[in-house]
Amino acid sequence: MPLAYISDYSWEAIVPIPQDDGGENPLAPIAYQDDYKTATGYLRAVMSVEEVSDRALQLTSDLIFMNPAHYSVWAYRARLLFALKKDLEQELIWIEEVGQRFPKNYQIWNHREMIVDKYDNPIRELPFIEVMLELDSKNYHVWSYRQWLVRRFDLWITELPYTDRMIENDVRNNSAWNHRFFTVFGKGVDIAQSEINDEIDYAKRAILKAPQNASAWNYLLGVLKRAQRPLSEIEEFCNDLAAVTTTAQSLNVDIDRLASTRALEVLADIYAGRREVEKAAQAWTLLAEKYDPIRENYWKFKNRRQVSVSWLQPK
């Protein structure tokens, strides 16, 4: 079956340039399919003379459906679209078809960013992004594109409610938590303390749903750090989840009530920050020997480091 660009346009004047895999007898030639070898031969020929034409544009379309990771084809296509003054909305519709067929391909999103930036209208974007995130709610490339879009068109107002919904659907969706952090802190303006409090409470509620969920814990710790607020602010919260009781020099963990070893990790850092060396050491030892032995060497390292640092600090 002839390819569309061969049957629809005249190519007699174009001599395809074959792939050079390393001379006449390459060591490991790539076994391209015949259609792909033909198409890339014509691509190299038209790119070598910087041809700007409808047939070249059709050629890029054929090649992208054969190999959507071919970066040079995307770059050439963008130049052709702008030079030929093509309808950019039609290009966006075409990209939607490509995107749903190849959802993990990042070149699609780089190309769409260029087209939307030139088109200067985001009306199609959020609905399309929602479709793509329904296919894969953790698709890094889609979330990255969404962040660009929000900044480019000042769409901040939509984002907290959207992350609410995505996190409600999957509290372990690290991409949604990352986007929430971007939404709260990415505007480059001062954040009211009341808003910080709301985010701390939001993260705590999510942790109570899934106490071992790293995404919510990372978000909570990230908010505290960004707001320059002390870890000790969540000490009581961590005590409850780790089922910890303490005396002046030691701690006790009620194994029957322990809900989160993540909470115990945070408590260890709180103790270390207050130079309560014995309690921090006990927490890290429990993590190393009982609750998180996979990372035993890491917890022992933290313990050794704490001891060495404590010797250098003034009493």
Q: Tell me the DSSP string of 119-144.
A: HT--TTHHHHHHHHHHH-TT-HHHHH
- Cβ atoms of 45 and 17 within 8 Å: the answer is yes
Q: Both tokens of residue 247?
A: 């005396």
Instruction: Choose the catalytic residue: 37, 86, 104, 138.
Output: 104
Crossing angle of the two packed helices 174-185 and 214-226, in degrees rounded to 10: 20
Please give the C-alpha separations between residue 194 and each of 190, 198, 199, 227, in angstroms, as whole numbers.
Answer: 12, 6, 9, 11
Q: Which two tokens stand for residue 164?
A: 């609410």
Write out the two tokens for 312: 């250098």
Most distant CA pair in the chain, distance: 88
In the residue annotation, 104 being an active-site residue is answered as yes
- Nearest CA to 279 out of 313, 310, 258, 255 is that of 310
Beta bridge partners of 244: 253
Backbone angles phi, psi at 18, to 5 degrees: -70, 160
Taking the CA atoms of residue 73, residue 79, residue 84 and residue 86 in that order, the dihedral angle to the nearest 10 degrees is 80
Write the CA distances from 16 to 44, 45, 51, 250, integer angstroms.
Answer: 7, 5, 14, 77
Beta strand segments in the chain, E: 244-246, 251-253
| CA separation for the pair 204, 219 (Å, rounded) | 10
Q: Which residues are catalytic?
A: 104
